[in-house]
Amino acid sequence: MVRVQVPATTANLGPGFDCLGMALKFYNIVEMVRLPGGLVIEVHGEGVQDIARDESNVVYRAAMYLFKQVGFDPGGLRIRLINHIPVARGLGSSASAIVGGLMAANILSGNKLSCRELLNMASQLEGHPDNVAPALLGGIVISTTVEGEVRYVKIDPPPGLKVAVAIPDFHLNTRAAREVLPQHVSLADAVFNLGRVALLAAALQQGKLDLLATAMEDRLHQPYRASLVPGMKKVLAAARLAGARGVCLSGAGPSIIALADSNLELIARVMKDTFRESGIMARAMVLEPS
Ligand code: HSE
């Protein structure tokens, strides 16, 4: 039996749309074993109501995709998912399913693919690399793709940096959150984000947390997604006031993260309370980068 664990991830970190992400110490576990002539999928924890247990299951599909690529016939599978990452909340649950399925299938079929090949495959399946790269590699990953190949740099999270997360109690699927984005943006907005994302990558690498407030600003996706996340702007502002170094929507939302090196519990509570004032029930937690 193969058992792998895959971290939650927070993508974009504000301005790094589709190219920046960070792994969090908060894991889903995938167990996989060959089962002659059958498919059994068990789901425990998050997503028990939502996750398919048939051939449309994302972990299963990723695994079968890999088996096909490497020419391996498992003959049937038993998959057990022990999930902690909430589904469709912007914390990389689908990336964790893809990466978990690929990693487990790779081990089961004799480790034929390298980590780089798994990353390229995961990015193709997900459509963008910003969640799957840190899910597979850990840490903070800056990534882009060139003709299907992921090019990336992994950096270690700054010492002492933690993440307060507020997780609303509603689902927002990534497709819907991408449909509200414009096809074209102004040069001014592109330049705004370029400056921030370059600053953010360097600030994270050098531990310059005082730059995060500016470096995590975004004009490419968050303004358009605000209408899908009631209270978003208020929660971002409240987290800043409570002492966050930088704040943003996590991935496509609806979760919101705040990066800080102190007062994390307070920031998390303030975010949760501010969501509640906008009629949204949310859980709050403090996580460490993985
Ligand atoms: N970069 C992606 C987005 C992350 O913001 O749509 C969500 O999968």
Q: What is the pLDDT of residues 18-36, one digit of tens each?
A: 999 999 999 999 999 999 9
| Ligand 1 atom with minimal separation from the 19 CA | 1
Evaluate: CB of 144 within 6 angstroms of ligand 1. no
Maximum Cα interatomic distance, the chain, rounded to a whole number of Å: 58
Residue 37: the pLDDT is 86
Q: Which percentage of the chain shows pLDDT scores above 90?
A: 99
Residue ranges of alpha helices (H) inside 148-263 are 174-179, 187-206, 212-215, 222-225, 232-241
CA of 172 to the centre of ligand 1 (A): 11
**Banded model confidence at residue 40, pLDDT cuts 50, 70, 90:** very high
Separation CA 169–CA 275 (nearest Å): 10
- Residue recorded with tokens 């990015």: 123
pTM of the model: 0.96
Distance (Å) of CA 218 to CA 66, 166, 226:
36, 19, 12
Q: What is the pLDDT of residues 84-108, one digit of tens each?
A: 999 999 999 999 999 999 999 999 9
Q: Whose CA is nearest to atom 6 of ligand 1?
A: 252
Has the ipTM of the complex gone over 0.90?
A: yes
Evaluate: CB of 18 within 6 angstroms of ligand 1. yes
Q: What is the pLDDT of residues 54-80, one digit of tens each?
A: 999 999 999 999 999 999 999 999 999
Mean pLDDT of 223-250: 98
Mean pLDDT of 172-185: 97
